């Protein structure tokens, strides 16, 4: 059956539906960036909560800002914003229909509708999964990229914005004029101190737009940090077929995820929040240690296996993890170069955490694409891998494994592997990166000179030498031999 509101009364027995009233809620969370991850993670926590009695006042309104979101709009509107979540493990697949998303607004069609929804007194929280690249941060020094064409556009057209900060600023200006409190802005992207970064970038933007608005936000608007975790591959045609065959539902955009999920949230929501702690989220005063652990182990771990994995001809994370050398690279990188940098984290045993990561990455049921993990390397490498390089350089510690990951990325950026098979690059800077990778070849100088990505590391001799050495081996001896050489050297 086609998934929509009417189908909820006839769902197959093994697919639970929401089971709660999906009417207009008194308090809304507007979520910008309705992709796979929001739908497998945040929306699921609220869906769990809404299944408990007494929490019906909350619901999500999804917003798509980019032209590519038109496809999600079409899918969601045709199915009354319902979708199937399939959890996949070695034990099999389980599905449920998620109902926490109640509305979807596509900004390019009607920017004013989005601005008014954001400015509505019922909107208490605006959450974001707009990818690491969506924050307009200069990677080299962490400053705001005020010269970006989107930002220049939104400063020139404050009432008809196109980027996230333009929408937030205009909506918050309307709230201020109307005597309303600001909403709380909650980033759920994989950035360390994601709330602090969102705050810094939005204040930098509003400072250029209207310093009084900026001062009001600095005094009144909350930006809680959060750490999010759940591996969610991009949805494919095979996934749609699986939902149809195994669960009897025609769903234009189901979402697949691993069984594991985790969410740690800084408890700072002046306008109120759902009782997420009742459904497994961990509310805390300080997210930083959790974030640091996750970004430096899980996300950097993903970087450590995706580029070498693609260079060796693999398509999925579990295939790369089944390669003993890649698995060892990942495990040794965590143990030797990252773990010594991490503070003790309350309630977490790092050895267990790392073992779970190895199991999660190796889960064959999830089918996580290396290309997805390797997307936007220009935003991810500086956030997940380079901070550990910096910390190790400061203490004179080892960096060979982290540097190898950077070198594999550079080799991958050339656009083909050792056999000459083409490699797909997805990155806002892909044209520039590819050109520099081809120009530099085995010499990493051209890519390392991108100070907006590498900052002072562009000229840190130990790092430059380590990347140059690894890249030379990757080009001369091939990916397999370069990896074997590295592993022999760190044993
Ligand atoms: P996705 O490709 O399914 O969706 C991305 C969404 O972000 C789309 O709605 C897109 O329009 C929007 N977006 C992208 N760039 C934007 C911009 N500049 N401004 C506004 N919106 C923008 O990706 P996803 O799997 O949902 O992942 C999104 C983010 O979630 C990741 O970048 C990461 O920070 C976080 N995350 C993902 C996972 C995962 O396993 N997929 C796990 C943890 C965290």
User: How many Cβ atoms sit within 10 Å of the Cβ of residue 60?
Assistant: 27
Give the Cα separation of 79 and 445 in Å (integer).
Answer: 51
So what's the pLDDT on residue 155? 98
DSSP state string for 207-276: HHH-HHHHHHHHHH-----EEEE---PPP-HHHHHHHHHHH--B-SS-EEE-S--EEEEE---TT----G
Task: Please give the structure tokens belonging to residue 309.
Answer: 């994995």
42 Cβ closer than 6 Å to some ligand 1 atom = no
What is this model's ipTM?
A: 0.99
66 Cβ closer than 6 Å to some ligand 1 atom = yes
User: How many Cβ atoms sit within 10 Å of the Cβ of residue 52?
Assistant: 12
Write the residue with the smallest CA distance to atom 22 of ligand 1.
130
5-284 has which fold?
A: Rossmann fold (3.40.50)
Chain region(s) in the chain for CATH 1.10.1040.10: 288-490
* Contact present, 132 and 383 (Cβ < 8 Å): yes
Examine the pLDDT at 351 and tell me if it is beyond 80: yes
Examine the pLDDT at 195 and tell me if it is beyond 80: yes
258 Cβ closer than 6 Å to some ligand 1 atom = no
64 Cβ closer than 6 Å to some ligand 1 atom = yes
Band of residue 413 on the pLDDT scale cut at 50, 70, 90: very high
Write the residue with the smallest CA distance to atom 32 of ligand 1.
131
The model's pLDDT over 210-242, given as tens digits with 9 standing for 90+, comes to 999 999 999 999 999 999 999 999 999 999 999
What angle do helix axes 461-477 and 386-394 make, rounded to 10 degrees?
A: 130
62 Cβ closer than 6 Å to some ligand 1 atom = no
260 exposure class (CB count in 10 Å sphere: 0-12, 13-18, 19+): middle
CATH class of 288-490: mainly alpha
194 Cβ closer than 6 Å to some ligand 1 atom = no
Which residue out of 70, 130, 233 has the highest number of ligand 1 atoms within 8 Å of its CB and is therefore the one to mutate?
Answer: 130
* Contact present, 486 and 470 (Cβ < 8 Å): yes
Examine the pLDDT at 275 and tell me if it is beyond 80: yes
Pairing of strands 27-32, 123-128: parallel
Give the Cα separation of 291 and 289 in Å (integer).
Answer: 5
Band of residue 138 on the pLDDT scale cut at 50, 70, 90: confident
So what's the pLDDT on residue 387? 96
So what's the pLDDT on residue 132? 86
Chain region(s) in the chain for CATH 3.40.50.720: 5-284
Mean per-residue pLDDT over the chain, rounded? 96
Give the Cα separation of 265 and 287 in Å (integer).
Answer: 6
130 Cβ closer than 6 Å to some ligand 1 atom = yes
So what's the pLDDT on residue 119? 98
Alpha-carbon torsion angle 60, 66, 67, 70, nearest 10? -10
Eight-state DSSP code of residue 399: -
The model's pLDDT over 429-446, given as tens digits with 9 standing for 90+, comes to 999 999 999 999 999 999
Backbone conformation region of residue 136, classed left if phi is above 0, alpha if psi is from -120 to 50, else beta: left
Q: Global pTM?
A: 0.90
């Amino acid at each position: 059956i086609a998934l929509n509101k009417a189908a909820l009364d006839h769902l197959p027995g093994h697919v639970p539906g929401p089971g709660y009233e999906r009417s207009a809620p008194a308090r809304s969370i507007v979520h910008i960036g309705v992709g796979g991850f929001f739908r497998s993670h945040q929306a699921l926590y609220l869906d769990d909560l809404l299944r408990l009695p007494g929490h019906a006042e909350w619901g999500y309104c999804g917003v798509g800002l980019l032209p590519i979101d038109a496809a999600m709009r079409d899918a969601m509107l045709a199915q009354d914003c319902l979708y199937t979540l399939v959890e996949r493990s070695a034990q099999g697949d389980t599905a449920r229909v998620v109902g926490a998303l109640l509305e979807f607004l596509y900004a390019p069609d009607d920017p004013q509708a989005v601005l008014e929804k954001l400015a509505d007194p019922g909107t208490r929280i605006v959450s974001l999964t707009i990818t690491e690249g969506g924050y307009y941060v200069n990677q080299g020094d962490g400053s705001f990229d005020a010269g970006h064409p989107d930002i220049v556009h939104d400063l020139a057209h404050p009432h008809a914005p196109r980027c996230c900060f333009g929408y937030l600023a205009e909506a918050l200006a309307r709230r201020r004029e109307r005597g309303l409190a600001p909403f709380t802005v909650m980033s759920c992207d994989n950035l360390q101190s994601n709330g602090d970064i969102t705050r810094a970038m939005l204040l930098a933007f509003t400072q250029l737009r209207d310093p009084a608005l900026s001062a009001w936000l600095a005094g009144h608007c909350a930006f809680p940090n959060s750490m999010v975790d759940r591996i969610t591959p991009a949805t494919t045609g095979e996934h749609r077929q699986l939902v149809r065959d195994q669960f009897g539902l025609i769903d234009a955009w189901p979402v697949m995820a691993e069984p594991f999920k985790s969410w740690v949230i800084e408890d700072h929501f002046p306008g109120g929040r759902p009782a997420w702690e009742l459904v497994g989220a961990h509310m805390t005063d300080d997210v930083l240690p959790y974030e640091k652990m996750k970004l430096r182990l899980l996300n950097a771990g993903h970087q450590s296996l995706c580029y070498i994995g693609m260079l060796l001809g693999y398509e999925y994370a579990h295939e790369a993890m089944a390669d003993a050398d890649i698995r060892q690279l990942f495990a040794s990188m965590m143990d030797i170069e990252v773990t010594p940098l991490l503070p003790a984290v309350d309630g977490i045993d790092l050895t267990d955490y790392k073992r779970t990561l190895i199991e999660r990455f190796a889960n064959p049921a999830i089918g996580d694409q290396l290309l997805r993990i390797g997307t936007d390397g220009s935003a991810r490498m500086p956030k997940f891998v380079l901070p550990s390089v910096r910390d190790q350089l400061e203490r004179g510690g080892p960096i060979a494994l982290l540097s190898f990951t950077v070198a594999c990325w550079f080799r991958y950026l050339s656009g083909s592997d050792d056999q000459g098979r083409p490699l797909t690059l997805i990155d806002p800077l892909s044209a520039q990166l590819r050109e520099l990778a081809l120009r530099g070849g085995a010499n990493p100088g051209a890519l390392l000179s991108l100070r907006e990505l590498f900052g002072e590391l562009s000229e840190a001799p130990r790092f430059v030498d380590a990347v140059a050495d690894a890249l030379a081996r990757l080009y001369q001896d091939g990916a397999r031999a370069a990896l074997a050489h590295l592993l022999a050297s760190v044993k």
